[in-house]
Amino acid sequence: MIMTGSERAVSGTGAVAREERCVILYAQVPDGVSPEQGYAIRDALNAAETNGWWFLNPGTFMAVFVVDRSGASRASACESNLVRLATEHPFWAGISIGMAEGKLFGAFSGDGILESMPFGAVVSEAMRNALADPG
């Protein structure tokens, strides 16, 4: 299909490709996560009402929060919950967290869920910020 400027790209599931201002939360456990730690991080991300999150082996998690009325505060609360988890479980491997805000282009469902893993400058910035965090 050839797209013109007036057409909207729609995925097979009905998601529409569009640009959104997002906060990317990038959390990394440099030596990999234990199953217990991984499940706890997963539960924290699920509870954060992200617009999508991904687990990247060996110990990296990336979450997207669309900046709207509550997106930035949900991202901040998620970061706080991950820090709290690390404090409550000092025997777990350290977790480094970085966040960045910027524009992201992707296919978002009608419910605002990003259908595919994001990439681009804002993701790279969040990753750099996590790498600079000693955990």
CA distance linking residue 8 with residue 88, whole number of Å: 46
User: Which residue in 6, 37, 26 sits closest to 118, CA to CA?
Assistant: 26
CATH topology of domain 17-132: Alpha-Beta Plaits (3.30.70)
Pairing state of beta strands 96-108 and 53-56? unpaired
pLDDT tens readout for residues 29-38: 988 999 999 9
Q: What Å distances lie between residue 98 and 9, 14, 62, CA to CA?
A: 31, 31, 10
Mean pLDDT of 90-112: 92
pLDDT exceeds 70 at position 8: no
Give pTM, 2 decimals: 0.87
With a pLDDT cut of 90, the percent of the chain lying above it is 67
Please report how the helices 35-47 and 71-88 are oriented relative to each other, as an axis angle in degrees rounded to 10.
Answer: 150
Window from 2-6, 37-41, 85-89, 90-94 with minimum mean pLDDT: 2-6
Q: Average pLDDT, whole number, for the chain?
A: 89
